[in-house]
């Protein structure tokens, strides 16, 4: 049988790690480290680190979530030190429904959410199931603020634990300069 080894653990699932708050996310990370003996992080930690790295203070969030999960995200972001100006979701409740979100549709939705909060200095696109890498640069261009999103920035946080930069030019402010 093939043996696979790992150098770190990244828990992929934004709402999974933020739903019970910032302290729970920290405990979850510590549990992963102790259970595996490896460096570990979560998707929620990745977006927080990403937001901090782009100088976010006043955040607006575009999500795949329903109202309840959006409230939980808002609380998590406030606990993590951000002023949350607004959170708007697509109302998706079934994981498989996220596959119906097109790149163009997601970009338009995110730009619209950003436009509701002109005082925001960063936008978060939250949900690991949303395909966001390709919309980061166009969203920043249209929204005139840095954009951080779940999967790309969780992976960015993970590779940084390995001592790599996570640099990916052409995919938004943070990944381009990492």
Q: Model confidence over 99-129: pLDDT tens digits? A: 999 999 999 999 999 999 999 999 999 999 9
Predicted model pTM? 0.95
Separation between Cα atoms, residue 43 and residue 36, nearest integer Å = 17
For residue 6, name the pLDDT band (cuts at 50, 70, 90): confident
Token readout for 89 is 């979701």
Q: Which of 128, 131, 130, 132 is nearest to 174 (CA)?
A: 132
Backbone angles phi, psi at 89, to 5 degrees: -120, 165
Average confidence (pLDDT) over 139-166: 96
**How deeply is 102 buried, as exposed, middle or buried, from its count of CB atoms within 10 A (0-12, 13-18, 19+)?**
exposed
Whether 79 contacts 22, CB under 8 Å: yes
Q: What is the pLDDT of residue 30?
A: 97
- Angle between helices 103-115 and 136-143 in degrees, nearest 10: 30
| Number of CB atoms found within 10 A of residue 70's CB | 21
Q: What is the pLDDT of residue 3?
A: 57
Name the more confident of 2 and 129. Answer: 129
DSSP-assigned letter for residue 37: S
DSSP-assigned letter for residue 127: -
Percent of the chain with pLDDT over 70: 98
Question: Looking at the predicted structure, is the pLDDT value of residue 80 above 70?
Answer: yes
Q: What is the pLDDT of residue 95?
A: 85
- Angle between helices 43-53 and 150-161 in degrees, nearest 10: 90
Question: Looking at the predicted structure, is the pLDDT value of residue 84 above 80?
Answer: yes
For residue 4, name the pLDDT band (cuts at 50, 70, 90): low
């Amino acid at each position: 049988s093939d043996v696979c080894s790992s150098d770190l653990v990244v828990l992929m699932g934004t709402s999974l790690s933020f739903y019970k708050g910032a302290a729970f996310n920290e405990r979850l990370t510590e549990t992963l480290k102790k259970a595996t003996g490896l460096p570990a992080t979560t998707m929620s930690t990745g977006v927080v680190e990403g937001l901090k790295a782009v100088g976010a203070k006043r955040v607006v969030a575009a999500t795949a979530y329903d109202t309840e999960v959006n409230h939980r995200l808002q609380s998590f972001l406030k606990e993590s030190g951000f002023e949350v100006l607004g959170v708007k979701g697509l109302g998706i409740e079934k994981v498989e429904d996220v596959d119906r979100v097109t790149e163009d549709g997601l970009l338009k939705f995110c730009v619209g959410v950003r436009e509701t909060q002109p005082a925001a200095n960063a936008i978060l696109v939250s949900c690991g199931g949303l395909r966001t890498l390709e919309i980061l640069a166009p969203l920043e261009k249209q929204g005139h603020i840095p954009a951080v999103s779940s999967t790309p920035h969780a992976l960015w946080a993970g590779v940084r634990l390995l001592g790599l930069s996570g640099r990916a030019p052409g995919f938004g402010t943070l990944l381009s300069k990492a």
